[in-house]
Chain A
Amino acid sequence: MGRSGPGRIIAIVVALLITAAISALLWLWFYDSAFLGVDAMSTFEPASENAQRVQDIYILIFWLAGAVFVGVLALTLIFSFMYREKPGAEALQLHGNSRLEVLWTFIPVIIVVVMAVPTFDLIVDIEGEAPEDALEVIATGHQWWFEFEIPELGVVTANELHLPVDRPVNITLHSVDVIHSFWVPRLMGKKDMVPGHANEMWFTPTEVGEFRGQCAEFCGLSHANMRFRVFVQSESDFQAWAAAQAADAATSEDEAIVAGAEQFTQSGCIGCHVVRGNPLAAGQVGPDLTHVGSRATIASATLPNTTEDLAAWLRNPPAVKPGSLMPNLNLNEEQIDRLVTYLESLE
């Protein structure tokens, strides 16, 4: 390979082939991660209008960036092959080329302008006020779980938020301790939950389904275990869910459940948890358990809501979620069984 004649052509062809191979491989892997498979947290499968608009800009910038990468890689390889040292060869003694330098200053300028215009346009839209008919939701970050409240429907729940499809939702974000961040990649980019400083975000879900979320701002020992789910439902399903959640806790004459409720009081659970309809259970520290039995998950969406996992959680909460504010209560198996029965009855 060399700087003239067939050698030069071979150098350029080989360099371009390597560039094409590397770019194709990276694109394939990227495509696979972004669009294929069961990526519940994917940032590339938007299920809301605003997330879709974010993705449109993301893809525009992606192609611009990809073109720069391919160009730089190709030139680096071409020059490396063409100009590698040769006996007798002389290096071109040039100090620069003003015309060329001015020209290539404009390449990044143009790229930046192409990015900036739609970006600024979108910022104004999504950072602006939510539409008037938006459903108001209050989300509060705690170390290490999420609390969700829908004031107009009287719903308070934890780690699982239900939303109606095709209706804008405006979420006010709070924190009671450190900074957390609310992120459901498929529904919207993240926004931080800052203590003493309410943030808002809005989007319109366009797809029915279950969406995963996770705290995205490092918030201490169990940051990794601070997860949640969003269930987007048809309007009627959502209304049915909200009505059930707004009601007081189910009561029962069933002996086992009554025994469980007593255990709930005796073990001190009432000191930290609310169970609406049970005047003793009024603690404000932990998640509202009024309808815990209806949830798909427990322990901030780290465990499925099964009898075994509930028991495992009660046996030693900090073993499941390091640093958990709920201590190991040293319950015996009989007490755990009673509590599990009671919690499962709270549908």
Chain B
Amino acid sequence: MATAVGTAGHVEERSGIWTWLTTVDHKKIAALYGVTGFTFFLIGGIEALMVRTQLAVPEGSVIDADLYNQLFSTHALTMIFLAIMPLGVAFFNYFIPLQIGARDVAFPRLNALSYWVFLAGGVILTGSFFMGGAPDGGWFGYAPLSDRAYSVGSNMDFYVVSLLILGVSSLMGSLNFAVTIINMRAPGMTMMRLPVYMWMTLVVAFLLILSLPVLTVGLIQLYFDRNFGTNFFTPETGGDPILWQHIFWIFGHPEVYVLILPSMGIISEVLPVMSRKPLFGYAAIVFAGAAIGVLGFGVWSHHMFTTGLGTVPQVVFSASTMAIGIPTGIKIFNWLGTMYGGNIRFNTAMYFAVSFIVLFTIGGISGVMHASPPVDTQHQDSYFVVAHLHYVLFGGAIMGIFSGIFYWFPKITGRFLDEAWGKVSFWLIFIGMNMTFFPMHFLGVSGMPRRIYTYESGLGWDTWNLVATIGAYTLAFGVLVFVINFFKTMRQPATAPADPWGGATLEWATTSPPPEHNFDVVPEVRDRDPLWYNRDHNIAPPETPEHLHIHLPPPSYFPLVVAMGVALVGVGLLAHLALAFVGAAVVVYGIWGWALEPTS
């Protein structure tokens, strides 16, 4: 067990790979999530570049139809499940305990297990490219195209197995985060004093807890249809392919909010701190976020307006979808209200946060456009939707994540990312993303369908496709500048102060980077912006007692063992079922050891 003893909160230093393999420290796990998620972000980006290269000119011949279908499917899966979600989880992991004044998450070993299982799912999904072919039926895996009859290879088995594994990881993580936020808040931190970022995290955790089981059931049914000849989705034998769509989108639409709400939370932290004034309308932003989460479960069929739902469902789902525009609009006005009257520090974090407001607005209003089913029949499966979703997921989610990286980098590493390089990367990414995705509105309006590997010249699509491809390379160059900035910065000495921005929330009350036990003394919370309250009321930080006796959970390798068992079950489902039973045995052994492991 690691007991922090001494005046400086000294912790026995371990290093080397074994530390990382057995760590249960939320900050180390966050770093693992962050680095892995960003690596997958780069892989997903390369997939996107290949797609854009193929589409640069009509009748492109860079890659063939088969590879193209694998690339666009895997690009979506990678960005959603292996990049944006884990990058969100990296921040959750790091900042839940720090923002609520806790020493770690509620279940540290479960936290480690979430990471290792995520890694297994990510490796299986990406590895599929080298093991007979990656998923090629879209991230939505519509039956019957995803059934064995029309998808003979193992491509879609990789889809099913990797999503099942990633779902297990997300479910464990979400339960962990929800329990932590509800139960482990510092004294005085009532729910309505919770930082907005924590509120959004909590909403995301509940969205995943409620929606992932639905996807899991659907995936198992699809696996059974493909491998054991059941008939859930096969029309010839009485199954219903539309059933799959309902199941998928009951998960799939809340998933959209899983991707965007964390970034809404991040900019709700960055905007007030950089504007040097409190968030405008805290309660409205919190309730709007929760309302988006609840309404998000009642809109799934707007992905299916063209499937022949009939009059009544079209009206109902159109109404619920339009209704989601209301809380979203409230949030945008409140962010603008936060900037109003400020004394705004325009650093890179703020650049990304401000750009989020405008870019997300574009994605939001195009979303409201296809809330009208008749209009949606002209948008659905066209490039207009590709433009819409990328304004939400890149202009929203990714811009927010970059804002968070620049904002929290000094806290996490003790180093400031270079501002000049940061602004260069911002402008390249900002211009590149608009150049890539705005023309897709025009392509959609001109009737270009999605997911086509080739198109004919002379339909008014040539120019904007070329522009989009040039934009994609500009964007990639911006990301490259960021990566160089990262490595450059990591070679500097760690000199950042505890609170470089004049932050309001508890993570800025401890050193940068924080000690393993986070806070020498758990802080007391007297206001929604605790550090600002203490500053304005001249309340000195609590004194560090001379002897610290802080119980921290010991490292454990059992999470890794269980995760390897889960991975083996996955490989077994793909290769030979006998292997799945071996994997299950490893899981049982791991849990056994885990349960009997001494914790002190």
Q: Which residues of A contact B (CB under 8 A)?
A: 3, 26, 29-30, 32-34, 37-44, 53-54, 57-58, 61-62, 65, 68-69, 72-73, 75-76, 79-80, 83-86, 89-97, 100-101, 104-105, 107-109, 111-112, 115-116, 119-120, 122-124, 126-128, 143, 173, 177-179, 181, 183, 185, 188-192, 194-197, 199-200, 212, 214-225, 302, 322-323
Closest to A188 in B: B377
Instruction: Check if A61 sits within 8 Å of B374, measured CB to CB.
Output: no
Closest A residue by C-beta to B307: A192
Q: Check B240 for interface membership: any CB of A closer than 8 A.
A: yes
Q: List residues of B (276-320) whose CB comes within 8 Å of A's CBs.
A: 276-284, 306-308, 310-311, 314-315, 318-319
Does B358 sit at the interface, judged by CB under 8 A?
Answer: yes
Question: Could you tell me the distance between the alpha carbons of A104 and B315 in the complex, rounded to whole angstroms?
Answer: 25
B459 pairs with A39, CB closer than 8 A: yes
Asked if B3 is at the interface of the complex by the 8 Å CB criterion, the answer is: no
Inter-chain CA distance A109–B319, complex, in Å, is 12
Q: Is B110 an interface residue (CB 8 A)?
A: no
Contact B340 A92 (CB under 8 A): yes
In Å, the complex CA distance between A200 and B373 comes to 15
Of all chain A residues, the one with the shortest Cβ separation from B443 is: A33
Residue of B nearest to A58 (CB): B375
Contact at A58–B235, with CB atoms within 8 Å?
A: no
Q: Does B7 contact A (CB under 8 A)?
A: no
**A-contact bits for B456-472, CB 8 A (1 contact / 0 none):** 10111000100000000
B598 in the interface (beta carbon within 8 A): no
Task: Give Cα distance in the complex from A191 to B380, angstroms.
Answer: 10
20 A–B contacts, CB within 8 A, in A order:
A26-B438, A33-B446, A37-B460, A38-B458, A40-B460, A41-B446, A69-B361, A76-B336, A80-B354, A83-B343, A94-B278, A96-B282, A116-B322, A127-B310, A178-B142, A179-B144, A189-B377, A216-B306, A222-B65, A224-B452
Contact, CB under 8 Å: A96 / B284: yes
Q: Which of A90, A219, A221 sits near B66, CB closer than 8 Å?
A: A221
- Contact across chains for B322 and A80 when beta carbons are under 8 A apart: no
In order of increasing CB-CB distance, the 8 nearest A-B pairs are A189-B377, A41-B447, A196-B235, A92-B341, A108-B329, A224-B452, A199-B308, A33-B442
Q: A91-B341, A92-B341, A179-B145 are in contact. Are A39 and B460 (CB under 8 A)?
A: yes
Contact A72 B344 (CB under 8 A): no
Question: Are A83 and B235 in contact (CB-based, < 8 A)?
Answer: no
Q: Flag if B369 contacts A61 (CB, 8 Å).
A: yes
Complex CA–CA separation, A219 to B381 (angstroms): 12
Flag if B361 contacts A72 (CB, 8 Å).
yes
B64 within 8 A of A: yes
Pairwise interchain contact A216-B381, C-beta atoms closer than 8 A? yes
Q: Which residues of A contact B236 (CB under 8 A)?
A: 195-196
Residues of A within 8 A of B438 (CB): 26
Task: Identify the B interface with A (CB < 8 A).
Answer: 64-66, 69, 137-138, 142, 144-145, 150, 235-236, 240-242, 275-284, 306-308, 310-311, 314-315, 318-319, 322-323, 325-326, 328-330, 332-334, 336-337, 339-346, 354, 357-358, 361-362, 365-366, 368-369, 371-382, 438-439, 441-456, 458-460, 464
Q: Is B66 in contact with A197, judged by CB distance below 8 angstroms?
A: no
User: What is the minimal beta-carbon distance from A346 to any residue of chain B, in angstroms?
Assistant: 26
Would B442 and A61 count as touching, CB distance under 8 A? no
Would A57 and B375 be within 8 Å (CB), given that A68-B361, A112-B323, A196-B241 are in contact? yes
Of the residues B282, B358, B441, contact of A72 by C-beta under 8 Å: B358
From residue B555, how far is it (CB to closest CB) to chain A in Å?
44
Residue picked from A3, A181, A188, A323, most chain B C-beta under 10 Å: A181
In the assembled complex, the CB of B377 is this many whole angstroms from the nearest CB of chain A, namely 2
On chain A, the residues within 8 Å of B379 by CB distance are 43
- Chain A nearest CB, measured from B525 CB (Å): 17
Given A38-B460, A94-B277, A185-B447, also A101-B65 (CB < 8 A): no
The closest CB in chain B to the CB of A106 belongs to B326
- Does the CB pair A34–B445 fall under 8 Å? yes
Cβ-defined contact, B276 with A108, below 8 A:
no
Q: Which residues of B contact A177 (CB under 8 A)?
A: 144, 150
For the complex, give the distance between the alpha carbons of A179 and B245 in Å. Answer: 11
Residues A197 and B337 in contact, CB atoms below 8 Å apart: no
Contact A185 B378, CB 8 Å, known A29-B442, A91-B341 = yes
CA distance A152 to B341 in the complex (A): 71
In the bound complex, residues from chain A placing their C-beta under 8 Å from that of B307 are 192, 194, 199
Q: Verify A196–B240 contact, CB threshold 8 A.
A: yes
For the complex, what is the distance from the CA of A185 to the CA of B277, rounded to whole Å? 50
Chain A residues with CB under 8 Å of B464's CB are: 33
Shortest CB distance B460–A (Å): 4
Residue of B nearest to A177 (CB): B150
Q: Which residue of A lies closest to B536 (CB)?
A: A93
Task: Select from chain B the residue with minimum beta-carbon distance to A189.
Answer: B377
Bound-state CA distance A92–B340 (Å) is: 8
Q: Report the bound CA distance from A22 to B441 in whole Å.
A: 15
Are the C-beta atoms of A100 and B449 separated by less than 8 Å?
no
Q: How far is the CB of B415 from chain A (nearest CB, A)?
A: 23
Question: What are the residues of chain B within 8 A of A222 when measuring CB–CB?
Answer: 65
**Cβ contacts under 8 Å, B361 to chain A:** 68-69, 72-73
Q: Which residues of B contact A220 (CB under 8 A)?
A: 69, 145, 150
**Contact indicator B150/A191 (Cβ below 8 Å):** no
User: Across the interface, which residues of A come within 8 angstroms of B66, CB to CB?
Assistant: 221, 322
Chain A residues, Cβ within 8 Å of B283: 96
Q: Which of A32, A44, A195 has the most CB of B within 10 A?
A: A195
Is the Cβ of A89 less than 8 Å from the Cβ of B452? no
Beyond A189-B380, A190-B377, A197-B241, 9 additional contacts (C-beta under 8 Å) are: A32-B442, A33-B443, A68-B365, A85-B276, A100-B337, A189-B378, A214-B447, A220-B150, A224-B454
Q: CB distance A218 to B358 under 8 Å?
A: no
Q: Return chain B residues, CB-CB under 8 Å to A39.
A: 446-447, 459-460
Contact call A91/B337, Cβ cutoff below 8 A: no
Q: Which of B150, B323, B361, B447 has the most CB of A within 10 A?
A: B447
Query: A216 contacts which chain B residues (CB < 8 A)?
Result: 306, 380-382, 449
Distance of A32 from chain B, by nearest CB (Å): 8
Q: Which of B142, B280, B343, B375 contacts A218 (CB 8 A)?
A: B142
Contact of B365 among A26, A69, A86 (CB under 8 A): A69
State whether A195 touches B235 (Cβ < 8 A): yes
Q: Provided the pairs A43-B382, A322-B66 are in contact, do residues A53 and B374 lie with their beta carbons within 8 angstroms?
A: yes
Which chain B residues lie closer than 8 Å to A218 at the CB level?
A: 137-138, 142, 145, 381, 450-451
Most buried by A among B306, B322, B325: B306
State the CA gap A97–B366 with chains docked (Å).
29
The smallest beta-carbon distance between B317 and chain A, in angstroms, is 11
**Complex Cα distance A190/B366, Å?**
18
Chain A neighbourhood of B275, CB < 8 A: 83, 91
Q: How far apart are the CA atoms of A77 and B232 in the complex, in Å?
A: 53
Q: State whether A190 and B326 are in contact (beta carbons under 8 Å apart), knowing that A69-B362, A123-B311, A127-B311 are contacts in the complex.
A: no
